[in-house]
Amino acid sequence: MGTSAKGLSFNWDPERHLAAIIDASEDAIISKDLEGIIRSWSRGAERLYGYTAAEVLDRNISILIPPDRRQETDEILVKLAEGKPVEKIETTRIKKDGSAINVLISASPIKNQSNQIVGAAIVSQDITGQKLSEEKLRHQYYHDLLTGLPNRIAFQERLAYAIEGAKITQKKLGILLIDLDRFNIINNSLGHPIGDRLVQEVALRLMSALFGRDFIARLGGDEFCILVENMEFEESAAKLGQKILDSFRPSFCFDGQELFVTASIGITVFPDDASSAAALIRNADTAMYRAKEQGGNKFQFYRSSMNVTAYKQLTLENTLRKALEKQEFVVYYQPQIETKSGKIVEVESLVRWMHPTMGLKFPDEFIHAAELTGVIEPLGEWALFESLRQLRLWHDDGFMISMALNFSNRQLKRPDMAKIVLASLEETNVDPKFLAIEVTENTFIEHSQSLLDSMQELRKMGVKFSIDDFNTGYSSLSYIKKYPVEMLKIDKSFVQGIPNNAKDSAIAQSIIALGHSLEMLVVAEGVETQQQAQFLTERNCDRLQGFLFSPAVPPDQLTKFLKSDKQKIP
């Protein structure tokens, strides 16, 4: 007898209370004999497996075990028969409705009063939700969320595994690194949602181009990588590269916006080019950038000589950056003469490199390298500020001329281009109406909404824009109409033959007429003779620029030129 706090008595039945505790457990607790016959079945077991006790008692426990887990179960029974407990084994079991669940099983042998093993007690915990969460996390760890493709981590592990296999089979591996051409322009002009949809569609096209066991991953951004295993010849990778390029020929269409997209592909081969995963990916990246340098929309195999080129480029980049730090760059200025007045109305800013050992170097000797290495951006910012600083000095001396400045494509593509320009104008206290930014025709081939927005923002502030080297590129009149351009510059290649070359004369005259019909000023570059100046003046060309008046000179020399009468047209 037992007595409660209120004086009530009850019978203590250990077996009944043990059964109550078992039934209260969330876990499935089952007992079975040595033949596998189920002898007890808890409420937790009902909830987990869906069977009532009446449905399973005296039946073999094999009704819960999937066929592919029978051997595992036999091994557990052997341990239990030997008197050894089994702790926390992850496995699968079958519910009454036929669905599979993940469980964590622990089991202990049951002994009679003679200490003989007569069965086993099995505790099962449902870990299906936990396994799903783990699988989801694992999937996220190894897969790209946007496309569902394997990610960089998965690719690197697969590549390392494939390399070990290739060493045994003596077969080649191919790595294809794919990068979209001018993807940033699409993102900047149409927005990131369209950019994301494009990446997803590109992933689908790449997957449709794969052969057999080819493995594809998205490394990030617009960059994908494909692993080709068991290659006999390089031609296999070349065929895949061409198939990928062909898959990009049909346009992509999003919300009525048709996009024509190309890609650059770098290809490297194991073991010919490298023996490690990191080196192979690096080589493919090098080859891909070589394909981009050649205009894109092509594949390029890696060659060891590319590393030499890459090293030279890195060395050149370091040299250019140090030159900028050491203030080895200087700005020269070439005047533009107004044909009506014969006076200087604008000067063009031109960067020179005063090399400590090689002397004065002209832009065609370093600008392309600065573009490739990215040095053009800090160099361009410096040139902008230095030119405006000098313009401020001329304005303070009473020479109210304008400044024309060349902007590279890389500078114009920057989304913060307008902010950089306005910051320099404010810092130097120059009125925006005295700044003219020169843009090449090729810039408009890769036109973007961000470029248009930046140009319109600056134009509202008073900054002017001109098209440099007009008629040497591929610009469309629709671009000239769309963008806030106020001036055309006739390229010097059409001025050199004036007036003796009939075609050059006709082209120059037609550009002047076109510019005026669009209410633009027209400037002729490369004027070297009085005959050229006379021809252009008679046809109402607004401004002239060239060696006839002055080459590009340091600021102090141009100051003397401004103070003299030499700027008048001869």
Q: Are residues 298 and 340 in the same domain?
A: no
CB-count burial class (<10 Å; 0-12, 13-18, 19+) for 528: middle
CB-count burial class (<10 Å; 0-12, 13-18, 19+) for 103: buried
In a domain? residue 93: yes
Q: Compute the distance between CA of residue 203 and CA of residue 375 in angstroms, rounded to an integer.
A: 33
pLDDT of residue 16: 57
Q: How many structural domains compose the chain?
A: 3
In a domain? residue 20: yes
- Sorted by sequence, the CB contacts under 8 Å of residue 104 that are 6+ apart come out as 88, 89, 90, 124, 125, 127
Q: Compute the distance between CA of residue 257 and CA of residue 413 in angstroms, rounded to an integer.
A: 21
In a domain? residue 424: yes
Q: Are residues 119 and 258 in the same domain?
A: no
Q: Are residues 406 and 465 in the same domain?
A: yes
* Per-residue confidence in pLDDT tens, the chain, 570 aa: 444 444 444 454 455 545 666 666 778 888 888 888 999 888 889 899 999 989 999 999 889 988 888 888 888 888 888 888 888 888 889 999 989 889 898 888 888 888 888 888 899 888 888 888 877 888 788 899 899 999 999 999 999 999 999 998 888 899 999 999 878 777 766 778 888 999 999 999 999 998 878 999 999 889 999 999 988 777 888 889 999 999 998 989 888 778 888 999 999 999 988 888 988 998 898 888 888 877 788 898 887 655 555 555 556 667 788 888 888 899 999 999 999 999 999 999 999 988 887 788 888 778 777 876 678 888 989 999 999 999 999 999 999 999 999 888 778 877 788 889 999 999 999 999 999 999 877 666 555 677 788 888 899 999 999 888 665 444 456 667 778 889 989 888 889 889 889 988 998 898 899 889 888 999 999 999 999 999 999 999 999 999 999 999 999 999 998 888 544 444
Q: Out of 81, 96, 131, pick the residue that ends a domain.
A: 131
Nearest Cα to 61, choosing from 19, 101, 93?
Answer: 93
Q: Are residues 296 and 319 in the same domain?
A: no
Which two three-digit tokens encode residue 25?
Answer: 């457990």
Residue 45 sits in a domain whose CATH number is 3.30.450.20
CB-count burial class (<10 Å; 0-12, 13-18, 19+) for 61: buried
Q: Are residues 121 and 182 in the same domain?
A: no
In a domain? residue 52: yes
Helices marked H in 429-529 — which ranges? 449-461, 477-482, 492-495, 502-517
Cis link prior to 67 (omega < 30° from 0)? no
Q: Compute the distance between CA of residue 267 and CA of residue 298 in angstroms, rounded to an integer.
A: 11
Q: Compute the distance between CA of residue 215 and CA of residue 204 in angstroms, rounded to an integer.
A: 13
In a domain? residue 308: no
Q: Out of 303, 333, 354, pick the residue that ends a domain.
A: 303
Q: Are residues 357 and 378 in the same domain?
A: yes
Residue 174 sits in a domain whose CATH number is 3.30.70.270
Rounded to the nearest 5°, which phi and psi values hold at 154?
A: -60, -40
Residue 492 sits in a domain whose CATH number is 3.20.20.450
Nearest Cα to 146, choosing from 71, 226, 211, 217?
Answer: 217
Q: Are residues 151 and 126 in the same domain?
A: no
Which two three-digit tokens encode residue 181?
Answer: 């051409």
pLDDT of residue 429: 95
Reduce the DSSP state of residue 223 to 3 states and report it.
strand
CB 181 within 8 A of CB 297: yes
Q: Are residues 328 and 477 in the same domain?
A: yes
Q: Are residues 365 and 476 in the same domain?
A: yes
Nearest Cα to 449, choosing from 500, 415, 404?
Answer: 415
Reduce the DSSP state of residue 52 to 3 states and report it.
coil
Nearest Cα to 488, choosing from 505, 504, 503, 509?
Answer: 509
CB 176 within 8 A of CB 266: yes
Q: Are residues 207 and 179 in the same domain?
A: yes
Q: Are residues 409 and 461 in the same domain?
A: yes
Q: Out of 96, 131, 166, pick the residue that ends a domain.
A: 131
Q: Are residues 346 and 478 in the same domain?
A: yes
Residues of the domain holding 458: 313-562
DSSP 151: -
Q: Any idea how long the chain is?
A: 570
In a domain? residue 468: yes
In a domain? residue 567: no
pLDDT of residue 321: 80
> For residue 211, which amino acid is it?
F
pLDDT of residue 331: 94
- Sorted by sequence, the CB contacts under 8 Å of residue 44 that are 6+ apart come out as 22, 23, 25, 26, 27, 28, 29
pLDDT of residue 567: 44
In a domain? residue 137: no
- Sorted by sequence, the CB contacts under 8 Å of residue 534 that are 6+ apart come out as none
